[in-house]
Amino acid sequence: MLALHSPLDMHLHLREQDMLQLVAPFTAQAFAGAVVMPNLVQPVDSLDRVAAYRRAIIESCSAHPFTPYMTLFFRAFDREELVAAREKIIGIKLYPAGITTQSEAGVRDFEAIMPTVALLEELDIPLLVHGESNGFVMDREAEFLQVYKELARNFPRLRLVMEHITTAAALDLLDQYPNMAATVTLHHLMLTLDDVAGGGLLQPHLFCKPIAKTPRDRDALCRAVLRGHPQLMFGSDSAPHPRHAKECCGCAAGVFSAPVALPMLTELFEDADCLESLPAFVSSNATRFYGITPLDKTVRLQRKTWRVPENYGSVRPFLAGSQLRWSLVDDAAR
Ligand code: DOR
Ligand code: ZN
């Protein structure tokens, strides 16, 4: 048996309505809280929308104790708006325009964001960034590092999160800027581009943004996470899309990993003989960086093999059909 104290998922997509009802309970069962992304069909870019979305999330996971940490979709906010938002959100999420699912309202002109970023620094509101340029797909994260550097250098007190990093180069930045942290997904610890597109058949359910990179990048991420790098936080980027939106011409980006996230992470850490680093990755690195005290919740895993279902409703999960060695102990059954 393994007990984790208040595990957190620091990057999550929950969607709305039926999809929200379907996916939210998986995260609420396994985690004490999660940072919820604002890229809904109509972006969550006002406090009214934050409040309504938060209510819908809480309703959808009422069976489990769980805190949704809300984010606002980046736009040119003024001081008054940010002062009002400060207590209601964990941070502001910035997407470059059009870079991924439902990001059309994102940033087009990075010079124009500076007054808002200065306010975030002054008010100590974290800035969470989907860091990809619009260059060649394998180079997008590396090209965006220049923007991260400028932000970290020009705003040394800004808490800046590189979301879902996929490259060894991004890790190097963390050492230079103590005001930065990064999230790492489960799938980017396991996959390279070969798994997505290198075989005889394309794997749409492994297609996501940022795209999985090289073996060297994946191995660097694994090493840093397994050794307990203090600036790395688990963020699943679990991003459900119905099968018809994945298995078609024009496949949506996103890997739905919520049901397997904690059991598979435990297996990875155990295989590397690094289980002692797991609590930092799934909880304390995030609580320290964000200065949050999550609700007191013990999540237990037991060594009991299970087979990941082929489908949860309309969605195919990451690792569908695989046998996993650890399973969650149902909190309602304890
Ligand atoms: O693969 C992705 N899916 N990457 C993102 O950044 C967004 C996400 C989604 O919302 O589907
Ligand atoms: Zn995401």
**Per-residue pLDDT, 36:** 99
Asked whether the predicted pLDDT for residue 332 surpasses 90, the reply is no
Report whether residue 13 contacts ligand 1, using a CB cutoff of 6 Å: yes
Asked whether the predicted pLDDT for residue 331 surpasses 90, the reply is no
The predicted-structure confidence for 115-142, as pLDDT tens digits, reads as follows 999 999 999 999 999 999 999 999 999 9
Report whether residue 254 contacts ligand 1, using a CB cutoff of 6 Å: yes
Task: Please give the Cα distance from 13 to 37 (Å, whole number).
Answer: 5
**Is 51 in contact with 286 (CB distance < 8 Å)?**
no
Report whether residue 166 contacts ligand 1, using a CB cutoff of 6 Å: no
pLDDT band at 330 (very low <50, low <70, confident <90, very high): confident
Q: Which ligand is nearest to the CA of 188?
A: 1
Comparing CA positions, the residue from 29, 96, 37 lying closest to residue 259 is 29
The predicted-structure confidence for 91-104, as pLDDT tens digits, reads as follows 999 999 999 999 99
Is beta strand 160-162 parallel, antiparallel or unpaired with respect to 180-184?
Answer: parallel
The predicted-structure confidence for 194-207, as pLDDT tens digits, reads as follows 999 999 999 999 99
Q: Which ligand is nearest to the CA of 106?
A: 1
In the reported structure, the alpha carbon of residue 234 is separated from the centroid of ligand 2 by a whole-number distance in angstroms of 12
Asked whether the predicted pLDDT for residue 39 surpasses 90, the reply is yes
Counting from 1 in the atom list of ligand 1, the atom nearest the Cα of 164 is 6
- Residue of 166, 237, 255 best suited for mutating to test ligand 1, as the one with most atoms within 8 Å of CB: 237
Task: Please give the Cα distance from 101 to 99 (Å, whole number).
Answer: 7
**Per-residue pLDDT, 334:** 46
Counting from 1 in the atom list of ligand 1, the atom nearest the Cα of 37 is 10
In the reported structure, the alpha carbon of residue 10 is separated from the centroid of ligand 2 by a whole-number distance in angstroms of 10
Report whether residue 253 contacts ligand 1, using a CB cutoff of 6 Å: yes
The predicted-structure confidence for 42-68, as pLDDT tens digits, reads as follows 999 999 999 999 999 999 999 999 999
pLDDT band at 333 (very low <50, low <70, confident <90, very high): very low
Share of the chain above pLDDT 90, in %: 98
Report whether residue 257 contacts ligand 1, using a CB cutoff of 6 Å: no
18 among known catalytic residues: no
Task: Please give the Cα distance from 307 to 143 (Å, whole number).
Answer: 39
How many residues does the structure list for the chain? 334
Burial of 280 by CB count in 10 Å (0-12 exposed, 13-18 middle, 19+ buried)? Answer: buried
**Is 35 in contact with 69 (CB distance < 8 Å)?**
yes
Written as six digits, the tokens of 184 are: 């790492």
Closest residue to atom 7 of ligand 1, CA basis: 101
> Is 6 or 333 the better-scoring residue by pLDDT?
6
Q: From the candidates 109, 237, 271, 296, give the one annotated as an active-site residue.
A: 237
Residue 175: left if φ>0, alpha if ψ -120 to 50, beta else—which one? alpha
The predicted-structure confidence for 274-312, as pLDDT tens digits, reads as follows 999 999 999 999 999 999 999 999 999 999 999 999 999
Closest residue to atom 4 of ligand 1, CA basis: 209
